[in-house]
Amino acid sequence: MGKMGKFNCKGLKDFQKKLEKLQDSEEFVESCAKELAAQLYALVVEKTPIGDYNIYVEVTARRDSKNHKKGDKYMKAESTGKDGGTLQRGWTIGSITKEGNTIKVEIINPVEYASYVEYGHRQTPGRYVPAIGKTLKRAWVKGKFMMTESEQELERITPKVLENKIKSYLRECLK
């Protein structure tokens, strides 16, 4: 019979220590939740509409010009001095809490009219609104569904995001 030879188990002990690192995955799970929250935040901010507060005035061309002949009517935007983007700037990532096996992340927009833009709202046709310089035309304004659509898009891309995150975590732990 042949001899077994020498066996060094230092490599196995190092590998065991690396595997023990994988057991402590609380930080990893929280970082995944933060990554998904950041993805959702970016998606919802991108989809949030920015208000246009210019007043559009019908102008009749007085003389021939490069773009308009005499008597042509066109719409010209006049600035009201009010900027849009309050709703878009209002988005924040709230607290991250763990309840049992569930991690909850809040994406918040405290702007008072955020829900009306999200889901739509009623209005009185014919009423003049000085803030926007327009007369309301429709009884119902459709919602933009920026949060709803962003959540659906996040659900679609979540597997790929988590797969990349897990691969990098395993590479780091098993170096």
As a whole-number percent, the residues of the chain with pLDDT over 90 amount to 47
pLDDT of residue 153: 97
Higher-scoring residue by pLDDT: 30, 12 = 30
- Would you state the structure tokens that stand for residue 24, as one six-digit string? 């402590």
Overall average pLDDT of the 137-161 stretch: 95
Rounded to whole angstroms, how far apart are CA atoms 111 and 90? 6
**Residues 89, 110: contact at Cβ < 8 Å?**
no
Which range of 25-29, 76-80, 141-145 scores highest in mean pLDDT? It is 141-145
Question: Chain-wide mean pLDDT for the chain?
Answer: 84
> In angstroms, how far is CA 3 from the centroid of its own chain?
65
Contacts of residues 52-60 at CB distance under 8 Å and 24 or more positions apart, as own/partner, are 52/84, 53/79, 53/80, 53/82, 53/83, 53/84, 53/131, 53/132, 53/133, 54/78, 54/79, 54/80, 55/80, 55/133, 56/133
pTM check: above 0.85: no
Residue 1 pLDDT greater than 60, yes or no:
no
**Per-residue tokens: 159:** 């597997």
173: pLDDT strictly greater than 70: yes
Residue 3 has pLDDT above 70, yes or no: no
- Percentage of the chain surpassing pLDDT 70? 84
pLDDT above 70 for 26? yes
Q: What is the pLDDT of residue 69?
A: 67
Mean predicted confidence (pLDDT) in 38-60: 85
